[in-house]
């Protein structure tokens, strides 16, 4: 009978469980692969030997890193975690140590919009977390493999090497596609983690959209800056190969380089019925400036309502009103986008826009999670009733968050045209703002 082949993880040096101790004495030392101690090897064993090993070590290979469930994509994200349970693999070629190595003379270039589009592919597929498995695209299914995939790197990096293909930046310089990296040099298996920055969710820059690979699968969610735990140890980085210039076929023909300095093509290229490469370019530039939440799928050549909403959000961020913020890109909008100037889009009121004083300060999502009891819940409920979204209340509204509050908020969100995780019944900054306008 042919011997089975499986992947095994060498016992951890700091794990004192009986199984790891037995394996340390039974397995001869082997050279480490990569930058830290968890060595991956492919082992062929006879069926009898497999049974003997299973009897001697019934504990799973990763038992010294117990699994703690994460929050699935789209679920309420504001419950802090003690520390991300994201052990990771070593540096490796695509498809793993026995896979097909890639050799490139220089780092591949990629736009910010492409990074976010790639990150969303794993979120949509709900790629399961694993430090040993590799997804169909060849990237390891852990946090650093996820970033390697989003950046389209030629191999799988880990938290100890991602900094070598990136440069440190300041918090104020963060833009979609950058990362927040925590590498615990003292013990890489304890707390080391990396997330992709997807854009700020508030004008005060206290919260952002994080794309991350963690248990049980890839997710995107609003996250307090810099992270739920070890916040002061996360460092912003920017990929060396990121380009601020989008690329694509402006006329729908062969490839042409477009971006900074690309002339405004004219109003006829945008609006209902438009279908051309300039619409795609517009969408990509808008995503790079923080409009990604307006697109359910990546920007494309056919003009849609998502393009109009994204354009208007950018125009409002500049403090424009009326016909200047109609959602159709004119020469001024186009110039700011192609040169990288102007204000980025945030989820709150547009910077510089006049304040009416009617919108109370958003208290944060923590005020609206199960079990919460505070005046903000009452204020929210009263405003929902005022707006005509109080049908699920049988009494109240009151200060204790309940299912009736959540269902009323969900109804309001759906009335905005939102679906999926954007209509989960938990008020974020934009839901709050629209309720009180």
194-205: average pLDDT: 87
Q: What pLDDT digit, counting tens, does each position of 268-325 carry?
A: 889 888 888 888 889 888 888 888 878 877 788 888 888 999 999 999 999 998 888 8
| pLDDT band at residue 394 under the 50/70/90 scheme | confident
Residue 374 CB contacts under 8 Å (≥ 6 apart), including other chains: 363, 367, 399
Residue whose entry in the numeric block shows the structure tokens 């409009």: 291
Instruction: Give 200's DSSP letter.
Output: E
406-422: average pLDDT: 86
**Helix 331-339 vs helix 277-286: angle between axes, to the nearest 10 degrees?**
60
Give DSSP secondary structure letters for 365-393: GGGGSTT-BSHHHHHHHHHHHHHT--TT-
The residue ranking higher by pLDDT, 73 or 348, is 348
Q: What pLDDT digit, counting tens, does each position of 313-372 carry?
A: 999 999 998 888 889 999 999 989 988 888 888 754 433 334 444 578 888 888 898 888
Inter-residue contact 247 to 258 (CB < 8 Å): yes
pLDDT for 396 equals 78
| R_g of the chain computed on alpha carbons | 25
Give DSSP secondary structure letters for 338-365: HHT-SPPP-SSSPTTPPP-S-SPPP--G
Residue 1 CB contacts under 8 Å (≥ 6 apart), including other chains: 47
Instruction: Give 420's DSSP letter.
Output: G
Instruction: Give 264's DSSP letter.
Output: P
pLDDT for 17 equals 57
Q: What pLDDT digit, counting tens, does each position of 139-192 carry?
A: 999 999 999 999 999 999 999 999 999 999 999 989 889 999 999 988 887 889
Range name among 28-32, 98-102, 358-362 with the lowest pLDDT average: 28-32
Give the other-Cβ count within 10 Å of 150's Cβ: 25
């Amino acid at each position: 009978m042919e011997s089975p082949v499986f992947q095994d993880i060498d016992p951890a040096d700091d794990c004192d469980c009986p199984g790891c101790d037995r394996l340390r004495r039974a397995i001869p030392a082997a050279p480490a692969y990569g930058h830290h101690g968890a060595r991956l090897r492919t082992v062929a064993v006879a069926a009898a030997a497999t049974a003997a090993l299973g009897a001697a070590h019934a504990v799973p290979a990763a038992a010294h890193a117990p699994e703690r469930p994460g929050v699935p994509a789209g679920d309420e994200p504001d419950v802090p975690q003690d520390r991300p349970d994201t052990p990771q693999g070593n540096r490796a070629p695509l498809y793993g140590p026995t896979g097909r190595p890639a050799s490139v003379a220089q780092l591949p270039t990629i736009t910010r919009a492409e990074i976010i589009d790639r990150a969303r592919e794993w979120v949509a597929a709900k790629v399961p977390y694993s430090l040993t498995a590799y997804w169909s695209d060849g990237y390891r299914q852990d946090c650093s493999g996820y970033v390697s995939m989003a950046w389209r790197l030629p191999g799988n990096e880990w938290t100890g090497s991602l900094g070598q293909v990136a440069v440190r930046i300041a918090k104020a310089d963060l833009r979609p596609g950058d990362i927040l990296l925590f590498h615990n040099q003292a013990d890489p298996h304890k707390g080391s983690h990396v997330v992709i920055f997807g854009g700020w969710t508030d004008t005060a820059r206290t919260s952002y959209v994080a794309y991350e690979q963690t248990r049980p699968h890839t997710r995107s969610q609003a996250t307090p800056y810099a992270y739920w735990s070890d916040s002061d140890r996360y460092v912003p980085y920017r990929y060396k190969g990121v380009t601020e210039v989008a690329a694509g076929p402006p006329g729908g023909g062969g490839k042409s380089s477009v971006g900074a300095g690309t002339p405004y093509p004219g109003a006829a290229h945008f609006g209902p019925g438009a279908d051309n490469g300039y619409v795609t370019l517009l969408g990509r530039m808008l995503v790079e400036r923080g409009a990604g939440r307006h697109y359910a799928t990546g920007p494309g050549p056919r003009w849609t309502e998502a393009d109009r909403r994204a354009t208007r959000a950018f125009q409002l961020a500049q403090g424009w009103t009326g016909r200047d913020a109609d959602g159709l890109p004119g020469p001024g909008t186009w110039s700011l986008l192609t040169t990288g100037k102007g204000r980025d889009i945030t989820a709150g009121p547009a910077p510089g826009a006049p304040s009416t004083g009617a919108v109370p300060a958003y208290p944060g999502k923590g005020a609206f999670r199960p079990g919460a009891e505070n005046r903000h819940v009452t204020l929210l409920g009263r405003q929902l009733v005022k707006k005509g979204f109080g049908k699920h209340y049988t009494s109240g509204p009151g200060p204790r968050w309940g299912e009736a509050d959540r269902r009323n908020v969900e109804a309001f969100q759906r009335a905005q045209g939102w679906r999926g995780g954007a209509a989960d019944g938990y008020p974020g900054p934009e839901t709050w703002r629209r309720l009180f306008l």
